[in-house]
Amino acid sequence: MAIFLDTGKIEEIEKFMKMGILRGVTTNPTILLKSGVTGGKEAIKKRSIEIANIIKPYPLSVEVTTNDPKGMIDQAKEFSKWADNINVKITIHGPNGELHNLEVVHLLENKHNIRVNVTAMMSAQQCFLASLAGATYVSLFAGRVNNMGYNACIEIKKLRKLLDDFNLKAKIIIGSTREILNVIEWLEAGAHIVTVVPEFLEGMIVHPYSKETVKQFLNDAKKAEEMLKS
Ligand code: E4P
């Protein structure tokens, strides 16, 4: 698993898929809007099917756009039919702390056989309960946690231990990357997956000293060729 891409941009997904370094993609309504997906559910459907096809058999997370329990179930059933590798993102609770979301998660996983990614979580305790409800993935927004003044690595470590100790199937997705160093730091803390924005993935690959070294190799290869000719 390890690296997912947190984007809805086709060119970025294709670029990193071709390198063989992606194991999935995550989206949410904000990401899709930023990726130029406007036009409601039809536009979400078109982009999601396109992404799911590019990355199959790796998973794509698509988030519901309502917090009404029946609406979430209906959308989850619909989204999961778009492609075999689509899982559905449901937030841990509603905008005012409404509690019916975990019941929806439990029903989707156990009654409707739909894989769920429980999202917008900020603590190990939220992720632990979502895992008990049956979630396949639990998404903790570590950058937002750090921005509140807490160290997300402590939550990630606690969460991984809980999942392992209680033998829960959920995989930990850590999102909300803010710096390139977050990726390895969060994997080291116990994340199964870090979902990374495209700019940071590129930043992980390119190093100024590697650039200089490659330039040196190419220049010396050219010099050696010229010496052969003379
Ligand atoms: C993860 O699944 C989320 O889509 C994402 O990482 C949220 O990141 P943000 O805090 O930058 O919005």
Q: What is the pLDDT of residue 122?
A: 98
Ligand 1 centroid from CA 194, angstroms? 11
Regarding the beta carbon of 87 and ligand 1, being less than 6 Å apart is answered no
Q: Choose the residue to mutate in 64, 89, 141, 194 for probing ligand 1, maximizing ligand atoms within 8 Å of C-beta.
A: 141
**Across the chain, what does the average pLDDT equal?**
97
Cis peptide before 57 (omega within 30 of 0): yes
For residue 107, give every residue at least 6 positions away whose Cβ sits within 8 Å of its Cβ, in sequence order, or none: 73
Nearest 5°: phi and psi at 59? -80, 150
Q: Is 174 helix (H, G, I), strand (E, B) or coil?
A: strand
Regarding the beta carbon of 134 and ligand 1, being less than 6 Å apart is answered no
**Is residue 136 predicted with pLDDT exceeding 80?**
yes
d(CA 222, CA 97): 65
Q: What is the pLDDT of residue 228?
A: 80
Task: Single out the catalytic residue among 77, 81, 89, 158.
Answer: 89
What mean pLDDT comes out for the span 151-167?
A: 98
Residue 89 is a catalytic residue:
yes
Q: What is the pLDDT of residue 229?
A: 83
Regarding the beta carbon of 28 and ligand 1, being less than 6 Å apart is answered yes
Q: What is the pLDDT of residue 72?
A: 98
b/e per residue 56-89 (b: at least 16 CB within 10 A): eebbbbbbbeebeeeebbebbeebbebbebbbbb
Regarding the beta carbon of 91 and ligand 1, being less than 6 Å apart is answered no
pLDDT in tens, 195-213: 999 999 999 999 999 999 9
Which atom of ligand 1 has the smallest separation from the CA of 173?
2
Q: Is 144 helix (H, G, I), strand (E, B) or coil?
A: helix
pLDDT in tens, 17-52: 999 999 999 999 999 999 999 988 899 999 999 999
Regarding the beta carbon of 139 and ligand 1, being less than 6 Å apart is answered yes
**Between the CA atoms of 208, 209, 212 and 214, what dihedral angle is there, to the nearest 10 degrees?**
-100
**Torsion sign over Cα 70, 31, 2, 49:** positive
pLDDT in tens, 83-101: 999 999 999 999 999 999 9
For residue 91, give every residue at least 6 positions away whose Cβ sits within 8 Å of its Cβ, in sequence order, or none: 63, 67, 101, 118, 119, 120
pLDDT in tens, 183-193: 999 999 999 99
DSSP assignment of 53-106? HHHTTS-EEEE-S---HHHHHHHHHHHHHH-TTEEEEEESS-TT--SHHHHHHH
pLDDT in tens, 101-110: 999 999 999 9
Beta bridge partners, 37, equal none
d(CA 223, CA 218): 9
Model confidence at 73, in pLDDT bands (50, 70, 90)? Answer: very high
Q: Whose CA is nearest to atom 12 of ligand 1?
A: 176
What mean pLDDT comes out for the span 175-181?
A: 97
**Is residue 230 predicted with pLDDT exceeding 90?**
no
